[in-house]
Amino acid sequence: MRGPLENPILPLDHLALRGADDADALVLRDGVVSYRGLRSRVSRLAAWLAREVPVKGARVATWAAKGELTCLMPLAAARAGLVHVPVNPLLKHAQVQHILSDSGAVMLVGTPARLKTLEEDEVPAGCRVMEEAQALADAAELDGEAAPSTANPDDLAAILYTSGSTGRPKGVMLSHANMWLGAESVADYLGLAEGDRTLAVLPFSFDYGQNQLLSTWYAGGCVVPLDYLMPRDVMKSVERHGITTLAAVPPLWVQICELDWPPETAARLRRLTNSGGALTADLVKRLRGLFPQARLFAMYGLTEAFRSTYLDPALIDTHPTSMGKAIPHAEILVINDMGQVCQDGEEGELVHCGPLVGQGYWQDAERTAERYKPAPTASVYGGIAVWSGDRVRRDADGLLYFAGRRDAMIKSAGNRISPQEIEEAALATGLVVEAVALGVPDDRLGQAVHLIVRAAPGISDAEEELPRKLMQDLPNFMQPKVIHWRDAMPVGPNGKIDRTGLQAEVMA
């Protein structure tokens, strides 16, 4: 934990001001952008946004692949006094419609192919739709540039949508301060510096995905965004761009370890980090063998409070399953059911306190109250804390270990998936009358989605049609790996479907 804060907290767009003018800041398909160029492009895009959306605090959404728009918009929207809503490019029209409607977005900028999938009635009234290329062209033609922001660091800067354990995705509200301190924290404990080059493979709609940009720019380094098709694309980019820093979800790390890396290419990497799920002891061993010169940072985080813990790379070989200790600017407490700090070895709930805690869920006071609660009395920071619902233990050396989840979220290939969202999609087809989505351990995915369903009476082609319908309505990462058909669902004493029994049956 670091506190009180040692450095001033500035509006988010000031990250563009930190690097040396001629240093590389961003590698795009059409060339390398220096920090001087980054500052100019952010300023022009911010000026264009302020002209097109003059109402401060309005929400502007982006739905596009990694490129100039998605890289610049977090800073440009902040400079224009707007709130950025990055939409996962893998989502399909139903999820995008919900995010646009829920956030009240007044503008959606995206790639033509994605925008064409939205029907006219799926775009909320008052939300203007614009193609990415046109927006960037209009911004580039502006004569004036927007001055750096003077916003209050506590002002809302972004809404990141994440799946909840029940219902539709919920929007986590992040302030300028949340994101600035997240950038400073990661840059600090990873040891990022000028000359470092980060390969950004995580989606920018994820908290740590976006932090790939922000922490690198905080340190004055260079970002190389990559939407990879094959794991080999990652290896080629490391070689081509001299990458020093790489973050990935465990399933991608598994695939990366299966590649035949030239020793000189592997040696370019100085630091490796994880997101979207824990590293197994076997995967840690494989990564250490393949990249012996790189420092491997095992981490734990949640969107509601960004990152929470990291393990000192010097301990990864001896403590490969540990989550480590609190990152800078975070206070992590393990609290038992009596509301007291747990003793060493005692299992309790991980509670995250401090200035990285977000501002709650957008327009959802009920769910905010479930997760964002007053900090435990033992907290140094006090105020509101995030009660994670995750069960952990702390050993005598202060290292944390994950014990289990309190909610029913499925974590597959780095994505947090709501079982209810999959179940609702299955029921909406009219082909089934009951549906239960479960996460089943999987070597490559972490968890694979299994869907147990009971067909609607009188429908003969349900088994053939359901996968096709789900492919139309759900993004690829939500697609069930296996669909189990049942004539009847098991029922527990409370009259509800026995999910525990189904889980045991599927895993048998």
**Assigned domain for 372 exists:** no
Rounded to whole angstroms, the Cα distance separating 385 from 457 reads 48
Mean pLDDT, residues 213-224: 98
How confident is the model at residue 424, as a pLDDT? 84
What digits encode the pLDDT tens for the residues 99-128? 999 999 999 999 999 999 998 888 999 999
3-state secondary structure of 382: coil
What digits encode the pLDDT tens for the residues 413-461? 888 888 888 988 999 899 998 899 999 999 889 999 999 999 998 898 9
Mean pLDDT, residues 30-35: 96
How confident is the model at residue 163, as a pLDDT? 67
What digits encode the pLDDT tens for the residues 354-379? 999 999 999 999 999 999 999 999 99
Q: Is the pLDDT of residue 484 over 60?
A: yes
**Assigned domain for 435 exists:** yes
Phi, psi of 269 (to 5 degrees): -75, 125
- In terms of residue numbers, what domain contains 481? 410-507
Per-chain mean pLDDT for the chain: 93
**Number of residues in the chain:** 508
Q: Is the pLDDT of residue 168 over 80?
A: no
pLDDT band at 1; cut points 50, 70, 90 = very low
What digits encode the pLDDT tens for the residues 456-471? 988 989 999 999 999 9
Query: How many domains would you assign to the chain?
Result: 1
Separation in Å, CA 468 to CA 119, 346, 424, 460: 20, 47, 15, 15
**Assigned domain for 477 exists:** yes
How confident is the model at residue 493, as a pLDDT? 61
Alpha helix positions (H), 120-267: 132-140, 176-190, 207-218, 231-241, 250-257, 263-266
Q: Is the pLDDT of residue 165 over 50?
A: no
Alpha helix positions (H), 242-374: 250-257, 263-266, 281-290, 365-371
Give yes or no for a contact between 173 and 159, defined as CB atoms under 8 angstroms apart: yes
What digits encode the pLDDT tens for the residues 45-90? 999 999 999 999 999 999 999 999 999 999 999 999 999 999 999 8
Q: Is the pLDDT of residue 134 over 60?
A: yes
How confident is the model at residue 157, as a pLDDT? 98
375: alpha, beta or left, given left = phi > 0 and alpha = psi -120 to 50? beta
What digits encode the pLDDT tens for the residues 141-150? 988 889 999 9
**Assigned domain for 1 exists:** no
Phi, psi of 440 (to 5 degrees): -115, 130
How confident is the model at residue 242, as a pLDDT? 98
What digits encode the pLDDT tens for the residues 289-331? 999 999 999 999 989 999 999 999 999 999 999 999 999 999 9
**Assigned domain for 49 exists:** no
How confident is the model at residue 278, as a pLDDT? 82
**Assigned domain for 399 exists:** no
What digits encode the pLDDT tens for the residues 224-279? 999 999 999 999 999 999 999 999 988 889 889 999 999 999 999 999 999 887 88
How confident is the model at residue 3, as a pLDDT? 45
3-state secondary structure of 456: coil
Q: Which of 292, 283, 319 is nearest to 444 (CA)?
A: 283
Burial 277-307 (b: 16+ CB within 10 A, else e): bbbbeebbebbbebbeebbbbbbbbbbbbbb
Q: What is the pTM of this model?
A: 0.87
The CATH code of the domain that includes 485 is: 3.30.300.30
Which residues are CB-neighbours of 124 under 8 A, at least 6 positions away? 97, 100, 101, 104, 105
Rounded to whole angstroms, the Cα distance separating 261 from 307 reads 30
pLDDT band at 4; cut points 50, 70, 90 = very low
**Assigned domain for 492 exists:** yes
**Assigned domain for 416 exists:** yes
Rounded to whole angstroms, the Cα distance separating 406 from 72 reads 37
pLDDT band at 6; cut points 50, 70, 90 = low
Alpha helix positions (H), 143-203: 176-190
Mean pLDDT, residues 12-38: 96
Give yes or no for a contact between 445 and 251, defined as CB atoms under 8 angstroms apart: yes
Phi, psi of 52 (to 5 degrees): -80, -30
How confident is the model at residue 5, as a pLDDT? 52
